[in-house]
Amino acid sequence: MPYNKTDLERILGSPRRIRILREMVRNQGPLSVYRIRVLTGLRTGDVKKHLQILVDAGIVREMKMNDQRIYMLDGENPVVKALIELFKVSL
């Protein structure tokens, strides 16, 4: 999915989304909303809201596993690949 400058500013312009993305890079693999909440310290509603924005942007994939939804970075997305490298440097 191609992004323009405004798209990326909107997507990455939230410290809470950055916190979620950083934890997703740090904890590679599928994560539940609960786990992301624990890792970030954010409220459940905030986690869900920001995850939906990241899913809509194609940065995070949402999957249903049993009765819960799990989330993981979309490793095929070139923006995600760049974010992973950026966050690895700052972890």
The domain tally of the chain equals 1
List phi, psi (to 5°) of 47.
Answer: -60, -50
List phi, psi (to 5°) of 11.
Answer: -70, -45
Apex CA 51: angle with CA 47 and CA 57, to 5°? 155
Q: Is the pLDDT of residue 5 over 70?
A: no
Q: Domain span at residue 72? A: 5-90
Position 2 scores a pLDDT of 59
Query: For the domain that residue 76 is a member of, what is the CATH number?
Result: 1.10.10.10
SS3 61: strand
Residue 24, both tokens: 């997703």
pLDDT band at 62 (very low <50, low <70, confident <90, very high): very high
* Alpha carbon distance 71, 30 (integer Å): 5
Position 3 scores a pLDDT of 63
